[in-house]
Chains A and B, each alone.
Chain A
Amino acid sequence: MSNGRRTRVIRTDYLARVEGEGAMYVKLDGRTVSEVKLRIYEPPRFFEALLRGRAFTEAPDITARICGICPVAYQMSAVRAMEDACGVTIDVGPLRDLRRLLYCGEWIESHSLHVYMLHAPDFLGYPGAIEMARDHREIVEQGLQMKKAGNTVMALVGGREVHPINVRVGGFYRVPTKAQLRTLKDPLERARETALATVRWASTLPFPEVECAPELVALAEPDAYPIDLGRIVSDGGLDIAPAEFGDHIVEEQVEHSNALHARIRERGTYLTGPLARYGLSSRHLWPLARDAAREAGLQPVCRNPFRSIIVRAVELVQACDEALAIVEAYERPDAPAVEVTPRRAVGHGATEAPRGLLHHTYEIDEDGTILDARIVPPTSQNQLAIEEDLRAVVERGMDLPDHELSIRCEQAIRNHDPCISCATHFLELTVDRDAERL
């Protein structure tokens, strides 16, 4: 060590337990973290290209295929954007309630998958859910049972569990009867109980005391927890309509990733997802979820990404509670959809996918042909924030052996439940400690 410096590279070329494939690359120069890259390879924005030339009515079905975990989010942002373009608003009434119910189903399905199958093994010290299932069968069964409740909601309201086919611009193709919807009551009540138990269980997990700094960005409504509607707000003063997204958020191409990196113009890194939603709207949680959060020791704002497992569990309670309220109050609408007549326009739609803000923009022709499409998924918005977390993890843990540091890095990535299959279709991960080290 003549110069007292050495280079270390830590890399993981396959990221387990994230939705998609990815890679991480971290370079240490002496004791300085010189590079952190979450590498994402994106195909030539296939879906945006696929949408051009198609009818505006096809957007929900086409975009639903971008992700097997959050198809409803894609459908909902798509229909909102198309309705915005056509001058139609569905913000109240049974059609909106059904949409929110469907979206609650997806939150339940996606969050229970992440909390139990992907995130829990990190805290309980297992390489994955399969190994964990051998020792903690009841935990895995709980997760599967709750996930199934979400899938049941999606199958009934959405027509199918995966890639629901019942959603259309203007509403639905068919709406359920009151009696059909009431069949959801029992599974949702059981899921709500399980969700409450999940919050209590998650609060007992061991958490490192860390905080992330980025600006928190999420939808917000004046008197509701954000899911399917709202303005885009932040704790840094952002308060914009979905149509203004492009004026404030810039997407940049960076060399190491094919996905675009999103930044707030002039302020930089931001974070979307459960921590952002909770931090900006925890006061709008219903009493059951709010009390559960408090008993679990959560403050009104939580910036510890590891604790996102508790926040997701709290959101599970909220989603079950809201879904039950919708089921109980439901009156079948006279028509399954409102008429939507295309016009030449640009429309914007933003909703809260389980892993964060999902923004769609479409330009359509007077006959409804899609001229242009732009989709900004939550994971590409969170990419810089995840890289900042990785940097912090490496700075704290640089004396750890490579393997252990690599595991810490993977955990830091999984805290944000990145859906790499949404942002991209291939990603890899690396910690680099050069040969010079030895």
Chain B
Amino acid sequence: MVIGIGNSLGHDDAAGLQIARRLRASAHLAGMTVHEHEGETLGLLDIWQGADAIVLVDAVRSGAPPGTIHRFDATSAPIPARLRSSSSTHAFGVGEAVELARALGRLPQRVVLLGIEGRRFASGSGLSDEVEAMTAELLEAVLTEARRLAG
């Protein structure tokens, strides 16, 4: 299962959602389901309920150069603070949703976060050039990860 997370009106914060859309439109992997999730993140627990393995795709703001792709395996370790929820406009970010699920025994067996470093997170639409330029690569990384987790 792949879940693209973000905010469609938060410039680069929309990156995860866009990847999910492109994945749905262009790429097909047997047995892979794709979700987009916008807004309040506790809903993620219901989305991934019953899934064995998930790839979370989100924009991050860690200080790395914009467009940098981060990979973190959250299967047994918490997502580091620097890679947590890009925009933090919500009380619970993606990292918190993962940890709450872990505390409740509701986390899938395998969890990988693929983050793309954003540059602009203010209100507005359109990805910045650095992020846009890396979306094909991120898409490929998501597919690679999904294949690996499926195998």
Contacts and interface: CB of A to CB of B under 8 A. Distances in A.
Contact of A425 (B43, B104, B122): B122
Interface in A262-299: none
Interface string B29-45: 00000000111101101
Interface residues of A, number: 37
Nearest to B9: A65
A17 interface: yes
Nearest to A64: B39
A69 B100 contact: no
A421 B90 contact: yes
Contacts of B7: 65, 68
Contact of B91 (A17, A43, A144, A147): A17
Interface string B7-48: 111000000000000000000000000000111101101100
Interface residues on B, range: 20 to 34
Interface in A115-172: 117-118, 128-131, 133-134, 137, 140-141, 144, 147-148, 151, 161-163
Contacts of A163: 38-39
Contacts of B124: 46
Contacts of A67: 39
B40 to A, nearest CB: 5
B103 A130 contact: yes
Interface stretch (A18-26, A52-60, A333-341): A18-26
Contacts of A161: 43
Contacts of A47: 123
Contacts, number: 80
B89 interface: yes
Q: Which of B8, B40, B100 has the most CB of A within 10 A?
A: B40
Contact of A140 (B46, B91, B100): B100
Contact of B89 (A117, A131, A141, A425): A425
B89 A162 contact: no
Nearest to B97: A130
Interface string A30-70: 00000000000001001100000000000000000101110
Given A133-B104, A137-B104, A117 B91 contact: yes
B132 to A, nearest CB: 21
A118 B42 CA distance: 12
Nearest to A109: B40
A71 interface: yes
A43 B92 CA distance: 22
A69 B40 contact: yes
Given A151-B43, A163-B39, 14 more contacts: A19-B89, A19-B91, A43-B122, A69-B39, A69-B90, A117-B91, A117-B100, A129-B100, A144-B42, A144-B104, A162-B37, A162-B39, A162-B43, A420-B89
